[in-house]
Structure 1
Amino acid sequence: MTELQRNFWLTLIGRSISRLGNTFHFLALSLMIYAKTESALSVGQAMVATTLPMLIVGPLAGVWIDRLDKRKLAVICEILRGLTVLAIPFMPDVRLMYLFAFLSSMIGNISNTAQSALTPQLFPREELLGYNAKIQTAIQTMGIVGPILAGLVVSMWGYTAAFVVDFATFVLSALTLALLIVPKWIAPSDTEREKSQFWRELSEGATYMVRQPRVMNAILIMFTAMALSGMFNVLFIVFSKDIIAVTDRQFGWLEAGIGIGLALGAFLMNFAKRIDLLLFVRLGMIVDALLISALGYLVHSFYAEWVVVVGFGVCTVFAMIAAATIIQTETDPQYMGRVMGFYDTIFMAGTVLSMALAGVVETVFTVREIFIYGGLVTAGLIALLSLKRLPKAAETPVPASSSSSAVESAS
């Protein structure tokens, strides 16, 4: 097996296992909080707790990720994340569950950003879309199996068992990361650290990102879409259980439906090499918003809801893979961690805001009205952001004033 093949299979297995565990964690946390409080606001607060860390550590973590050994950092984070996840079901108070969900997410965001920044070092840049699509296909396949199994585990053994499974997957993920073959990392010297100050590096990363029109357009579209998606994530469980009246096991099948859509969309991206990736970001998020609107207006049964969420998964993964690949292929390597950090932060800012408002908005409008009108408005805004044609540049410009604080060279 070549180094390239080894890295591919380790990455595919590690991220797929981690995704399987995350489905257990997400489903168990949502159902456990809702069972304890019977409140959409409480579910929203739990989801805010899991997404808020990205707003706090995203750009700052990006600077340190560019300075540190990305693989070792990810390994440590995966182990710490598993331990914090394992503690959640043993917390005696819902507020402590929020706290540990926050800590787990903060550590996980650092790990995910480090792994995303590491990816261009594992595979040839011109083949990144193909590798991203294959890995995402496997990851999202776990999103099909995971919710079904999680629903069974929760119904048979309770919420704690689901968190134990998630802990085990993080340990396995750390092992696969440790076995990757990556270029040798060279720590910057003390002189280099003095010349390249933290806040200057942060500012340079932001300036560089803003000067990349295609990257910025993809980020702004994802932010706009997430402003609706965050609210959808909170109200989805309310819509499903209170309006459609699904059981916990059926809710697992709905989550699996999203997973089927994600896996199918990731598989189809293997055949998209000749199509501008920015088009996938734009159309994927427009159709996503329209599907949420259709969910509120047309859906009155479990089966119809299942079909809609499958389509939602397909369009979501189109945009997510395309946006990540645009950044990985059109960003200079020395800025990769910072741009990924900013992207994750901006991406999640809309999610956090809408999650926080979900419970409040629900007191004014019905869930169906939120889905209908929110979807239409979001689709319109993304269409406006998509009007300008932005062809890919021959080369990604690098500012003359750029500085590198973390050097990664071939061993």
Structure 2
Amino acid sequence: MADRSRSPWSPRIGGFLLAETLSAIGTFATMIAIWAYAAYRYDASPGEIALYGIAFTLPGVFLGPISGVVIDRIGSRRVLVGAKALGVVASLALIGAHSFGMLTLLSALHGVAGAFARPALTSMPPRMVDDEHLARTNALVGLTEQLSIVLGPVAAGIAIGAFGFKGAFVFDAATYALGIVVLPLVRLAPVVKAVDHAESLTTPWREAIAGWRIVAKTVVLRRVVMTTFVVHFLYGTALLAEPLYVRDVLERSTTVFAGLQTVFGVFLVAGGLIAARVGDRMATFMWVVGGVVASGFSALLYLGTGSLAVAVIGVSLWGVATALIWGPAHTVLQRSSPPSAHGRVMATDMLVANSAMFLGLGLAGVLIGAFGVPRTISGVALFVIGSGVALALADRRDHRSIEMPEMDSVGRRVEARQ
């Protein structure tokens, strides 16, 4: 008989995921509150406000190798507790922040907490549930982040309206603390160390880059991380392109921009629910590349035309496509890597995602200035589509070579040479 305590529908895991959803909403609300606080309290310029976003995301680039090692050494639960405790401190410290520099520093501290919390959380599902529930659980973990995109701005608005900017900071601290309280509810299976990998990690440096080495040596891991790079490069480009597209191409107000973001969030959540419903049938690399190709096409519809109606259709499809990538990609990464290295592999994937977003954001300014939003997005989207198709064809070719062994001139199977 199946152990219900190791399924995503158990009260313990359900309570944990609910707390993680609230924590993600609190973090998103705090970032919005920081940006708004800087704008109104310190009259910060757009460039200065962008510094907060950079300060928040840079730790995920620089601390990726370190966070993965720490997770695999002391366990994802302990790392998650430490990261959330740091989040509580950073959120409460924001209440007494009295300068622009202090806000920037505390944004970076939130980024450090996220650099450890995200790979710790995404490495937990294989130890939290049985393998038959892994794909569905990953989709539900992704849904916690997706709901924050929709509900985070709402929570920020309510907290700021009722209690001022500091109310959002207190709310975030409370949700971090709730996450710590519910963590003991989750029972994690012990990790069986893979001797072949563990024995090769003889120095801290080699251990830190083990995630990269495992990804580089394992074909399917390498391909999944490539998909992570191309879609996040697209996200980074779109991050700068979206407000410019609404202003310069559609010639609409910020209300339309906010509406399009809301549509994206709603369909992102809808896609997450679909992924959770379908479960293991989507946990394949071909589903991942399908989502990548769909992201490219939907970005073309959204930002590549001058029609608001087409843009609404495009942003809706993009939300669904984004959600359909998240769960299957993480499931493939977890199933294709040693359990003792899950922290480093998931941290490597996070590092690649953050780096790709930075690259996309940086190049977008140059490309949009030279070619405009529609042409830039069209070029990036075609790059994403082409990358997805190329990876799908390579994967299909590999499977064919396994299914159809090499034959000699008279039809006899040729044995592989040792």
SS in 1 for 2:56: helix
Query: 1:28 aligns to what?
Result: 33
Post-superposition CA distance 1:39-89 (Å, at most 9, x none):
3x4454332222211221111221121111321221121121132134447
> Using a 3 Å threshold, how does the CA distance of structure 1 residues 236 and 166 change in structure 2: closer, same or farther?
farther
Post-superposition CA distance 1:141-185 (Å, at most 9, x none):
454333334345556665443333222211111212233223468
How far apart are the structure 1 equivalents of 2:282 and 2:88?
A: 39
How far apart are the structure 1 equivalents of 2:245 and 2:395?
A: 38
How far apart are the structure 2 equivalents of 1:381 and 1:34?
A: 39
How far apart are the structure 2 equivalents of 1:144 and 1:362?
A: 28
AA of the residue aligned to 1:295: Y
What displacement does 1:378 show? Answer: 2.9
Query: 1:121 aligns to what?
Result: 127
5+ long unaligned stretches in structure 1: 394-411
1:232 to 223, 227, 238: 238
Query: Residue 182 in 1 paired to residue 188 in 2?
Result: yes
Query: Residue 245 in 1 paired to residue 250 in 2?
Result: no
1:73-112 aligned within 5 A: 73-88=79-94, 91-112=97-118
1:316-395 aligned within 5 A: 316-389=322-395
How far apart are the structure 1 equivalents of 2:168 and 2:209?
A: 41
How far apart are the structure 2 equivalents of 1:331 and 1:274?
A: 20
> Using a 3 Å threshold, how does the CA distance of structure 1 residues 328 and 357 change in structure 2: closer, same or farther?
same
Which stretch has the larger CA shift, 253-262 or 27-36? 27-36
SS in 2 for 1:298: coil
Q: Report the TM-score when normalising by structure 1.
A: 0.81
How far apart are the structure 1 equivalents of 2:199 and 2:285?
A: 36
Query: 1:13 aligns to what?
Result: 18
AA of the residue aligned to 2:339: P
SS in 2 for 1:165: helix
Query: Residue 286 in 1 paired to residue 310 in 2?
Result: no
What displacement does 1:290 show? Answer: 2.6
AA of the residue aligned to 2:298: L
- Asked if 1 retains the 8 angstrom alpha-carbon contact of 2:55 and 2:105, the reply is yes
AA of the residue aligned to 1:310: S
- Asked if 2 retains the 8 angstrom alpha-carbon contact of 1:282 and 1:382, the reply is yes
1:38-187 aligned within 5 A: 38-39=45-46, 41-88=47-94, 91-137=97-143, 139-151=145-157, 153-154=159-160, 158-183=164-189
How far apart are the structure 2 equivalents of 1:26 and 1:255?
A: 16
What displacement does 1:360 show? Answer: 4.9
Q: What's the C-alpha RMSD, in Å, of the aligned pairs?
A: 3.3
How far apart are the structure 2 equivalents of 1:125 and 1:224?
A: 28
Query: 2:216 aligns to what?
Result: 210
Aligned length: 385
- Asked if 1 retains the 8 angstrom alpha-carbon contact of 2:123 and 2:343, the reply is yes
> Using a 3 Å threshold, how does the CA distance of structure 1 residues 134 and 85 change in structure 2: closer, same or farther?
same
Q: Report the TM-score when normalising by structure 2.
A: 0.80
How far apart are the structure 2 equivalents of 1:138 and 1:178?
A: 19
How far apart are the structure 2 equivalents of 1:215 and 1:182?
A: 24
- Asked if 1 retains the 8 angstrom alpha-carbon contact of 2:65 and 2:209, the reply is no
What displacement does 1:357 show? Answer: 4.2
Identical counterparts, % of pairs = 22
Which stretch has the larger CA shift, 171-180 or 103-112? 171-180
Query: 2:5 aligns to what?
Result: 3
AA of the residue aligned to 2:169: F
Query: Residue 271 in 1 paired to residue 278 in 2?
Result: yes
What displacement does 1:325 show? Answer: 0.8
How far apart are the structure 1 equivalents of 2:35 and 2:363?
A: 17
SS in 2 for 1:230: helix
How far apart are the structure 2 equivalents of 1:82 and 1:251?
A: 32
Structure with larger Rg: 2
SS in 1 for 2:394: coil
Which stretch has the larger CA shift, 3-12 or 258-267? 3-12
- Asked if 1 retains the 8 angstrom alpha-carbon contact of 2:228 and 2:349, the reply is no
> Using a 3 Å threshold, how does the CA distance of structure 1 residues 392 and 121 change in structure 2: closer, same or farther?
farther
AA of the residue aligned to 2:55: A
How far apart are the structure 1 equivalents of 2:357 and 2:148?
A: 23
How far apart are the structure 1 equivalents of 2:158 and 2:258?
A: 8
What displacement does 1:11 show? Answer: 2.7
Query: 1:223 aligns to what?
Result: 229
What displacement does 1:205 show? Answer: 3.6
Query: 1:297 aligns to what?
Result: 304
- Asked if 2 retains the 8 angstrom alpha-carbon contact of 1:284 and 1:318, the reply is yes
> Larger RCO: Structure 1 or Structure 2 (Cα < 8 Å, ≥ 6 residues apart)?
1
AA of the residue aligned to 2:300: S
How far apart are the structure 2 equivalents of 1:186 and 1:330?
A: 15
How far apart are the structure 2 equivalents of 1:371 and 1:31?
A: 28
How far apart are the structure 2 equivalents of 1:78 and 1:67?
A: 18
